[in-house]
Amino acid sequence: MDAAATVAAFWAAAAPGWIRHADRHDVRGRPLGEVALRSLAVRPGERVLDVGCGCGGTTAELATAAAAGSGPTAGGGAAVGVDLSAAMIEAARSRFPAAAHPGLRFLDADIERLDVVPGGPFDAAYSRMVLMLLADPVAGCATVRRSLRPGGRLAATVFRAGPGNAWLPAAMLGAAPHLGALPPLPVGSEPGPFALAEPQRIDRVLTAAGFVDVAAEPHDVVMVAPDEPDDVAEWLIELGPAGAPYRQAPPDARAAARAGAAGLLARFRQEGTGYRIPAALWLVTARA
């Protein structure tokens, strides 16, 4: 199975967990993309592309910033979310129906295989923790660049390497002994959380895709979650590579997986207060 097929298969299996936790992740996961939202500074009337929009929460926020849906005063402002997962796009359309959000559109498509994204040219493009998951990031980013107007801007986030993202392996390693075989973890530049962890590779990928003024700025953020160990463990398990095996496991194995993950995530918990989960990111910016 080639990289593109592997990525497609992973997201087909992972989608139910992302859909189930969409409301939670819109709130708890917002810090993972907030620095890119601030950097992009979408203005009323702009057209914005959301790359890897998942269940649509970020696209809806971008549409609001562009004043989509506010009638003629919006000046044509709109947001288009594109994602590889047809199931997540269906969920996005259900969560943010067109009748209530006329400036908001969702597209089920592989960004790496498009020439340009319909609905452009766009003034700006946004992506939260997705570019490192592309099978061919140069091809995907080239599509984004072609979909932007000349001078259009990109702001995205990806994970940095190192101990700043210790929660990622904690959730998986705590659950894994109770779930049987898990998919092999990506290594090196294979699609995965740390495929763009090195700023030199970020520069190479975006430059090869035709972008200019490429920059990667480090940011440390914190995700906040309530003091509900079982719920927090399940949320993080289901968003990662253990998600599909977890959903297929019997109830006793799922309970043991949650307990195992909660044990390793305890370092981020303050009893009675909740979780403060640190994440180390790159804010990636560039222009078409």
**Single-letter residue type at 71:** G
- What pLDDT, on a 0 to 100 scale, did the predictor assign at position 281? 98
- What pLDDT, on a 0 to 100 scale, did the predictor assign at position 72? 45
Q: How sure is the predictor about 1, in pLDDT bands with cuts at 50, 70 and 90? A: low
Residue 100 tokens, joined: 């209530």
Taking residues 17-30, what's their average pLDDT?
Answer: 97
Q: Which residue has the tokens 């194995």?
A: 253
- What pLDDT, on a 0 to 100 scale, did the predictor assign at position 162? 80
CATH code reported for the domain at 3-287:
3.40.50.150
Q: Is 90 exceeded by the pLDDT of residue 184? A: no
Across the chain, what does the average pLDDT equal?
94
Q: Where are the domains of the chain?
A: 3-287
Q: Is 70 exceeded by the pLDDT of residue 74? A: no
Q: Which residue has the tokens 């109770």?
A: 178
At what angle are helices 57-65 and 31-40 packed, to 10 degrees? 30
Taking residues 53-70, what's their average pLDDT?
Answer: 86
Of the candidates 112, 138, 111, 278, the one whose C-alpha atom is nearest the C-alpha of residue 196 is: 138
- What pLDDT, on a 0 to 100 scale, did the predictor assign at position 75? 54
Of the candidates 209, 223, 198, the one whose C-alpha atom is nearest the C-alpha of residue 33 is: 223
For 207-251, the pLDDT digits (tens) are 999 999 999 999 999 999 999 999 999 999 999 999 999 999 999
In the chain, the percentage of residues whose pLDDT exceeds 70 is 97
H helical segments located in 217-276: 229-238, 243-248, 251-265
For 107-157, the pLDDT digits (tens) are 999 999 999 999 999 999 999 999 999 999 999 999 999 999 999 999 999
Taking residues 31-55, what's their average pLDDT?
Answer: 97
- Radius of gyration of the chain from Cα atoms? 18
**pTM of the predicted protein model:** 0.94
Cβ 92 vs Cβ 53: under 8 Å: yes
Give the lowest-confidence range in 16-25, 100-109, 205-214: 100-109
Cβ 104 vs Cβ 27: under 8 Å: no
- What pLDDT, on a 0 to 100 scale, did the predictor assign at position 239? 94
Q: How sure is the predictor about 69, in pLDDT bands with cuts at 50, 70 and 90? A: very low
Q: Is 70 exceeded by the pLDDT of residue 71? A: no
- What pLDDT, on a 0 to 100 scale, did the predictor assign at position 4? 87
